[in-house]
Amino acid sequence: MKIPKRKLFLLIIFAYVAFSLYAAYSVFFSTKVISRVHRVVKKETVLGGVRDGGAVGPLLARDWNPWEDEQVDYNSALTKKRDAFKQHLGEIDKNKPKRYRVQIWGKAAIGLYLWEHILEGPLNPTDKIAQWRVGELQSGKIDFSFYTGPAVVQGHVPLDMNSLVLVLNGREQEKVSYSIRWLEHAQALVKSHTVSHVALVLLGNEHCNNDFIAPYLKRNGGFVDLLFVVYDSPWVNDKDVFQWPLGVATYRQFPMIRPNAQLITSNRQYLCNFLGTVYKNSSRETLMQVLKKSELDEECITTAREKWLPQETADSLRRYQNALAQSELTLCPVGINSECYRIYEACSYGSVPVVEDVLTPGTCAAGSSSPLRLLKAAGAPFIFISDWKELPAILERERGMSQEQRVDRRRRLLEWYANFRQQMKERFTEVIEETFFKNG
């Protein structure tokens, strides 16, 4: 049968197109198979191969992935994104302020003044007689942690940082012996490279005789980088030895007082107060005689005892706090040293300290700014006197003050004391940061 030319032409065209498609498909398929077979061979997943010189198709492992190219591309892109994200996080970390960690071991009662009144840190548990108390806070670039209580003993305090502050008592020989044991423990930590930096906050001797600490100072070949010492020590140079405030009697459970409107604006019942021990042949005897002779003891609340008591009862502490809160002035005669807890306790209640500004016996620094040079340098708004015979004139001026004037003075005193503690906090933090981490 004769096929028409038109149909024959179309049939040829169709056969040509079909053959071209088949050829292209064969080339594409064989290329992909070969390329993937080669990769599988490299991974040693081929189960069979060329035998007897003949071409035999390789048997591929079951985990062969026909979409491997696409998966590799996807994984590569994902890795690039992850790397970019890590780099972004790294840039964020670089821009964050660097923080440092310091641990404080409070083995003297002034540690509580440092932690709760100066640094204003929390303590858990809140029970003041707990065997083990701990707290954490941030100040400046430093993260502080604080440990205190009878159960905080050498070798049992968790130490997870290499910068340490010891708070010790060097007031009397028994306390000195105890403090030396802690210093030797800290020295061993430094020698073993467990601790790199050590600062010491010391309740110094009231005569400023602190020679026991000298060998431990770095300036003398020891390991203590910084010393913060109470009282007018002649060692103070504001480089590696700094003066520290005595503060309130935390060992007698004196609390942190938060000022309120009632504390500032109340009408106070008494012009002045003095509750304390009156030592024989001391200026305190003179004070009591002046009050009695001038009949001022009726306008001032006074309770004198002949023997010092180391602890307050709940009742005596309450009476003492009430006296501070109900008096315009608190009389602060010298004891063994001119600086006493009463000064800071009066400030806590906005009762202006009347301070006996005289040097006491001992080796404390003398000079135009001594005694009480730390408080004077801070501009303490106190009444300074050199003789208690000046008191009647002072109280006469008090009688002439209006309530508005008294309230204004009270507010200024409370503001000064809050600023003073804040300055001590900033100074303490900055000095440690500069000394411990200046190369960090």
Tell me how far CA of residue 100 lies from CA of 115, 162, 186, 436, in angstroms. Answer: 18, 10, 20, 9
Amino acid symbol at 201:
V
pLDDT for 303:
85
| Residue 90 confidence (pLDDT) above 90 | no
Do 180 and 266 lie in one domain? The reply is: no
| Domain-located, residue 196 | yes
Please state, in angstroms and rounded to a whole number, the distance separating the CA atoms of residues 71 and 64: 12
Identify whether residues 286 and 162 lie together within a single domain. Answer: no
Residue 87 lies in a domain: no
What mean pLDDT is predicted for residues 392-417? 96
Say whether pLDDT at 127 is over 70.
yes
List the domain range (segments joined by +) for residue 122.
Answer: 100-244
Last residue of a domain, one of 244, 265, 293: 244
Instruction: Give the neighbor-by-neighbor strand order of the sheet with 300-305.
Output: 300-305, 270-277, 327-332, 352-356, 383-385
Q: CB within 8 A of 124, min separation 6: which ones?
A: 133, 134, 135
Final residue of a domain: which of 226, 244, 262? 244
Encoded amino acid at 124, one letter: N
pLDDT of residue 12: 61
Least confident of 100-104, 313-317, 391-395: 313-317
Q: Rounded to whole angstroms, how far apart are CA atoms 105 and 167? A: 6
CATH of the domain at 145: 3.40.50
Please say if the pLDDT value at position 2 is more than 90.
no
Binned at pLDDT 50, 70 and 90, residue 33 comes out as: very low
Look at residue 225 in the predicted model and tell me its pLDDT.
98
Q: What are phi and psi of 3, to 5 degrees?
A: -90, 130
Higher pLDDT, 76 or 436: 436
Higher pLDDT, 358 or 43: 358
pLDDT at 11: 62
Residues 221 and 276 placed together within one structural domain of the fold: no
Specify the higher pLDDT residue, 294 or 218: 218
Same structural domain, 188 and 336? no
Residues 372 and 295 in one domain: yes
Distance between CA atoms of residues 291 and 333, nearest Å: 13
Is a pLDDT exceeding 50 seen at residue 91? Answer: yes
Q: Cβ of 216: how many Cβ atoms within 10 Å? A: 20
Please give the pLDDT value at position 60. Answer: 43
Whether residues 207 and 284 fall in one domain? no
Average of per-residue pLDDT across 108-126: 97
Indicate if 188 and 304 belong to the same structural domain.
no
**The pLDDT value given to residue 31:** 43
- Mean pLDDT over 258-284 rounds to 92
The pLDDT of residue 387: 95
pLDDT at 298 (0 to 100): 80
The pLDDT score that the predictor gives to residue 389 is 94
Return d(Cα 210, Cα 232) in angstroms, integer.
11
Decide if 22 is inside a domain: no
Q: CB neighbours of 345 closer than 8 A, spacing ≥ 6?
A: 248, 249, 254, 320, 324, 330
pTM of the model: 0.78
pLDDT band at 30, cuts 50/70/90?
very low
**Whole-number Å distance between alpha carbons of 257 and 11:** 108
Residue 58 included in any domain = no
Let me know whether 265 and 130 are in one domain. no
Least confident of 24-33, 230-239, 282-291, 428-437: 24-33
Boundary of a domain, candidates 224, 244, 264: 244
Tell me, what amino acid is at 153? V
pLDDT in tens, 278-327: 888 889 999 999 988 887 778 899 987 756 556 667 888 999 999 999 99
pLDDT value of residue 22: 54
Buried b (16+ CB within 10 A) or exposed e, 45-56: bbeeeeeeeeee
Rounded to 5°, angle at Cα 431 from 428 and 432:
85
Residues 298 and 337 both lie in one domain: yes
Instruction: Flag whether pLDDT at 56 surpasses 60.
Output: no
Q: 310 vs 83, which has greater pLDDT?
A: 83
Residue 48 is predicted with a pLDDT of 40
Q: Check whether residue 155 and residue 273 sit in a common domain.
A: no
Question: Residue 310: its pLDDT value, please?
Answer: 61
Domain presence at residue 386: yes
272 and 366 share one domain: yes
Count: domains in the chain: 2
In a domain, 41, yes or no: no
First to last CA, the chain: 101
- The answer to whether position 147 is within a domain reads yes
Mapped onto helix, strand or coil, the DSSP state of residue 355 is strand
CB 291 within 8 A of CB 300: yes
Average pLDDT over residues 166-178: 97
Beta bridge partners of 144: 102, 137
* Mean pLDDT over the full length of the chain: 85
Indicate which CATH number applies to the domain containing 377.
3.40.50.2000
Cβ contacts of residue 421 below 8 Å, gap of 6+?
117, 118, 120
Give a yes or no: residue 85 inside a domain. no
- 406 — pLDDT class (breaks 50, 70, 90): very high
255 and 239, same structural domain? Answer: no
Residue range 412-426: average pLDDT? 98
**pLDDT recorded at residue 338:** 96
| Residue-level pLDDT at 80 | 76
Q: What is the pLDDT of residue 54?
A: 42
